[in-house]
Amino acid sequence: MNSSSPSRIVSLFLVLLFQFSFTSLSFAAQNQSFAFASFTFRNFTLLGDSYLRDGSVGLTRELNVPSTSSGTAICNDPIILFDPKTNTSASFSTNFSFQISNVNPESSGDGLTFFLSSDNHTHGSPGRYLGLFNSSEGAAGKKIIAIEFDTRLNPEFNDPSSNHVGLDIQSGPISIKTADASSSGIDLKSGNVITAWVDYQNEQKELIVWLSYLNVKPEHPLLSVSFDLSKNFNEVMYAGFSAATDGSTEVHVIKDWSFQTFGFPSSNSTSNSTVQQPRNTSDSKQNISPVLSVVPFSRSAHKSHKKLILALGITGPIIFCAFLIVFGWFSVKRWKAYGTSKHFKPDMIKGPRKFSYRELSYATKGFHSSRALGHGAFGTVYKATFHSGVTFAVKKSKHNHQGKSEFMAELSIIACLRHKNLVQLEGWCDEKGELLLVYEYMPNGSLDEILYQEPKLARTVLKWSHRYNIAIGIASVLTYLHQECEQQVIHRDIKTSNIMLDKDFNPRLGDFGLARLTDHDKSPVSTLTAGTMGYLAPEYLQYGKATEKTDVYSFGVVVLEIACGRRPIEKDAQSQMMINLADWVWRLYSEEKLMEAVDSRLSGEFEKEEMRRLLLVGLSCTHPDCMERPSMRRVLQILNNEAELLVVPRKKPSLTFSNSLPLSIDEIVSEGEEDLPTSLVELKIQ
């Protein structure tokens, strides 16, 4: 690159910026349109039990046994529905294809929705609340407009049948108006792909819904509602889909989707032109065209327009020149600073944003030790408080340059993951030779800190309901990582210190520094063994092959920690010998004293059946033979009491390996565990 390139690029950028700024000042909100023949993580935020598979969005769990489930998929791009400059509300038109199937039709319910919300994290209760509304708070202060496709009759909501469509506004799934889908010859839960068209015409204050098994809009609509939706429009709204079940095997899938707004002036419209008409998104010629009035161009408006042009002609060049000089100076200075070091440009998704080193340094008080939250294999985590009052957790990496490149490439994919039990990546910074990762802040710290508090500093003991919920949450997110992502994610470092707790003690799995991505149909690859002693599966120690079953083993150890309140490997107070937690619980189980393993700090305040189930799940997951361990989906079903427990042998099975280990102890212990005494490392190889 020659020396004039930075100035040329800066100049070009400034010209484009000026053109964009002038355009923004000249015109009001613009009409929007988009279409998805298939879905990707880059376009959607998935909440709850929703997942992506083969380009479609699944909203509820796909199980062969009845379950309670709810999920939401929300488009990341905001939709402008109200223009405060012109006090204009938009009309909109959308169509999408969906499928509601059921392996057991007798357990139908509850249905799905298409919705517009003022919040881009909308996720509600399962069952009759359709994964959109909250059972106790309705819409919880949000503005919500939803078209429900309901497959269960709920008399308390005035449902006409178990096969109806309705318009829901704000307060919950009590529809303003409903229509039985059978009147259009449609069975919502037939398992067939159904196409829906939804048009809202703001001028007429009318919403219309059509349904068909074909991809052609029917002549007669199923539902027509006269209602002013614009009263529930924010300037910016988010569109998405939700679904829920309650003791049902019903599965809800969205196949494709298109959406457009109309009613705002087009960018090339003149005072004498009509407003842009909607594009046909329904593969049909029967879209209703809005009848929109033409605003006359008065003489007074013409005079005001001339005055505005004159004022801009005088002051505009002066302001722009000043802006050009100041902005150009800062831009060239920053460009030169970037040229001193190789700069990373990860292909991040729209969600995470880039922070400046200066703002992160200020928020952490110069990465002062008093702001340190913890230390791990990939660096130190600091608490960062910004001027706005928002708090984040900032991880300062200690990778070398090559490690940074690999880690950022991996992180660019992992940042696309969306699950309610994952710590959310908020952004990154790669200035001054540092790699800083910004995550949402977890007020209750890590599970490790809560379980093993110093007696003098101990807060309230983690109660049983929270412990069991933590086990279910981590099982849910591992099911998502192992089986529901486009590429399988093997975490490789599941442990209590990597499980964070939010203000309500809900679990969030974090620290993907060791994670690996593989295709679902590929065999595991041998790598340098990494992780933390006490959590490593025996076959992983022996062969260095990370699979989903090695994650299952680590999860099993965490489950036993939750139930017993003991570390994976700790010194016995009486014998002074190092005790392996899984071995200790298995011995008590063989002696029919399983409940003696329960954390004494609970003082007997727990559900005995749930505790027994949790302990046996822990033993099943830590089975020495990886082939005998359950999948995480099966574990989740067991914890939700949706499947029977696996048979756990009374005596811990032994496992035979070759006598020569391919790895040394130094290679086995993770970077974050250098201070682990070698006496804790005990390999039982027969």
> In angstroms, rounded to a whole number, what is the distance separating the alpha carbons of residues 199 and 197?
7
Tell me which of 262, 290, 317 is where a domain ends.
262
- Count Cα atoms within 13 angstroms, Cβ side, for 583: 11
Q: At what angle do helices 608-621 and 632-639 cross, to 10 degrees?
A: 170
> In angstroms, rounded to a whole number, what is the distance separating the alpha carbons of residues 480 and 503?
23
Q: List residues with catalytic annotation.
A: 493
Q: Say yes or no: 532 and 482 in one domain.
A: yes
Structure tokens at 254: 């969205």
Structure tokens at 192: 């067939």
Structure tokens at 237: 């709204």
pLDDT over 60 (residue 619):
yes
Give 587-600 pLDDT, tens digit per residue: 999 999 999 999 99
Q: At 47, which helix (H) or strand (E)?
A: strand 44-48
Q: What is the pLDDT, as a whole number, of residue 447?
A: 92
Structure tokens at 361: 């340094």
Taken as a whole, the chain contains a residue count of: 686
Nearest to 358 by CA among 326, 334, 389, 379: 334
Tell me which of 409, 440, 471 is where a domain ends.
440
> Do residues 158 and 174 touch, judged by C-beta distance below 8 A?
yes
CA distances 572 to 157, 329, 581, 630, Å, are 58, 66, 11, 30
Q: Say yes or no: 14 and 143 in one domain.
A: no
Structure tokens at 536: 């490593």
> In angstroms, rounded to a whole number, what is the distance separating the alpha carbons of residues 571 and 549?
28
Domain annotation covers residue 281: no
> In angstroms, rounded to a whole number, what is the distance separating the alpha carbons of residues 257 and 34?
8
pLDDT over 60 (residue 664):
no
Residue of 353 and 117 predicted with greater confidence? 117
Q: Say yes or no: 12 and 97 in one domain.
A: no
How many CB atoms within 10 Å of residue 659? 7
Nearest to 110 by CA among 14, 37, 188: 188
Q: Say yes or no: 466 and 424 in one domain.
A: no
Print the domain residue range for 319.
5-22+299-335
Q: Which residue has the tokens 């959308």?
A: 94
pLDDT tier, 684 (very low <50, low <70, confident <90, very high otherwise): very low
Q: Say yes or no: 147 and 50 in one domain.
A: yes
Q: At 167, which helix (H) or strand (E)?
A: strand 164-169
Give 396-411 pLDDT, tens digit per residue: 876 554 456 545 645 6
pLDDT over 60 (residue 346):
no
Q: Say yes or no: 110 and 228 in one domain.
A: yes
CATH number for the domain harbouring residue 359:
3.30.200.20
Most trustworthy range by pLDDT among 105-109, 134-138, 481-485, 675-679: 481-485
CA distances 452 to 169, 271, 457, 461, 635, Å, are 47, 71, 10, 10, 25
Residue of 168 and 518 predicted with greater confidence? 168
Q: What is the pLDDT, as a whole number, of residue 657?
A: 53
Contacts of 235 (CB under 8 A, 6+ apart): 80, 81, 82, 83, 84
- Tell me the pTM: 0.49
Q: Say yes or no: 453 and 432 in one domain.
A: no
Give 498-520 pLDDT, tens digit per residue: 899 988 899 999 876 656 655 55
Q: Say yes or no: 168 and 303 in one domain.
A: no
Angle at 187 between CA 184 and CA 190, to 5 degrees: 150
Tell me which of 202, 235, 262 is where a domain ends.
262
pLDDT over 70 (residue 585):
yes
SS3 587: helix
Contacts of 122 (CB under 8 A, 6+ apart): 47, 72, 74, 115, 132, 142, 144, 238, 240, 242
Residue 381, strand partner residues: 374, 395
User: For strand 353-354 and strand 425-429, is the pairing parallel, antiparallel, or unpaired?
Assistant: parallel
Contacts 24+ apart (CB under 8 A), 656-665: 656/686, 657/538, 657/542, 657/685, 657/686, 658/542, 659/685, 661/541, 661/542, 661/685, 662/542, 662/543, 662/544, 663/528, 663/529, 663/541, 663/544
Q: Say yes or no: 172 and 241 in one domain.
A: yes
Q: Say yes or no: 429 and 452 in one domain.
A: no
Is 396 annotated to bind ligand?
A: yes
Amino acid, single-letter form, for residue 101: S
Q: Say yes or no: 78 and 178 in one domain.
A: yes
Give 232-272 pLDDT, tens digit per residue: 999 999 999 999 998 888 999 999 999 999 988 765 443 33
Q: What is the pLDDT, as a whole number, of residue 126?
A: 87
Residue 224, strand partner residues: 208
Domain annotation covers residue 283: no
Nearest to 240 by CA among 57, 150, 419, 114: 114
